Amino acid sequence: MQRHHHESLRQRKQTERAKMDAVRSVARVADLLVATVDGGVQELYINEKRIELEARALLATIAWYRKQTDQWLAATNAINCLEVSCRTVKGSGSSSRKKMETADDHEYCYYYYEEQASSVAVGALTMANTGTNSCIGTLLLMMMIDGALCCS
């Protein structure tokens, strides 16, 4: 009977050990599963943030290119206006030059072209103040003044 009792205690201890090992194994598997899921969620979160930052950078780049395009279109329009204005000044200067015969008339021509250059400069300043890049506005102003004086 004692032997049976010892055998029964031994089996009970062995069963308890096996049960404890099983609980530890299940806990370890659960921890590994949680760690794997957490790692996947963390990776997804990082990827989401990376994509969000790239989208913001792309939007900023698009806005920059849109602004550049608008500036180039404004500059092109200003140059086209300059060309038309220069042709107008040149045409009026040519017709006026043909009519002038005396030295007094030549002096009138000089003042007339100065007046034309200042009105063209005012136009260039207006274009520069309406959203055209300040460097482009300054360049156009210089070109318009030169054009008005050189179109003669």
Q: Would you give per-residue pLDDT tens digits along the chain (152 residues)?
A: 788 888 889 999 999 999 999 999 999 999 999 998 888 888 999 999 999 999 999 999 999 999 999 999 988 888 887 777 666 655 555 555 555 544 455 555 555 555 555 555 555 445 545 554 445 555 555 555 555 444 44
pLDDT of residue 151: 43
Contact (Cβ atoms closer than 8 angstroms) between residue 120 and residue 90 = no
Estimate the crossing angle of helix 103-129 against helix 2-99, to 10 degrees: 160
pLDDT of residue 149: 43
The tokens describing 74, both together, are 């404004």
Residue 19 backbone dihedrals phi, psi, to 5 degrees: -65, -45
pLDDT of residue 78: 83
pLDDT of residue 126: 53
Q: CA-CA distance, 71 to 69, in Å (whole number)?
A: 5
Contact (Cβ atoms closer than 8 angstroms) between residue 78 and residue 86 = no
Cβ neighbours for 92, distance < 8 A, ≥ 6 positions apart: 116
151 CB-contact burial (10 Å; exposed 0-12 / middle 13-18 / buried 19+)? buried
The tokens describing 131, both together, are 């959203």
Contact (Cβ atoms closer than 8 angstroms) between residue 124 and residue 137 = yes
Q: Structural domain boundaries of the chain?
A: 2-150
- Cα torsion through 86, 145, 147, 136, rounded to 10: -90
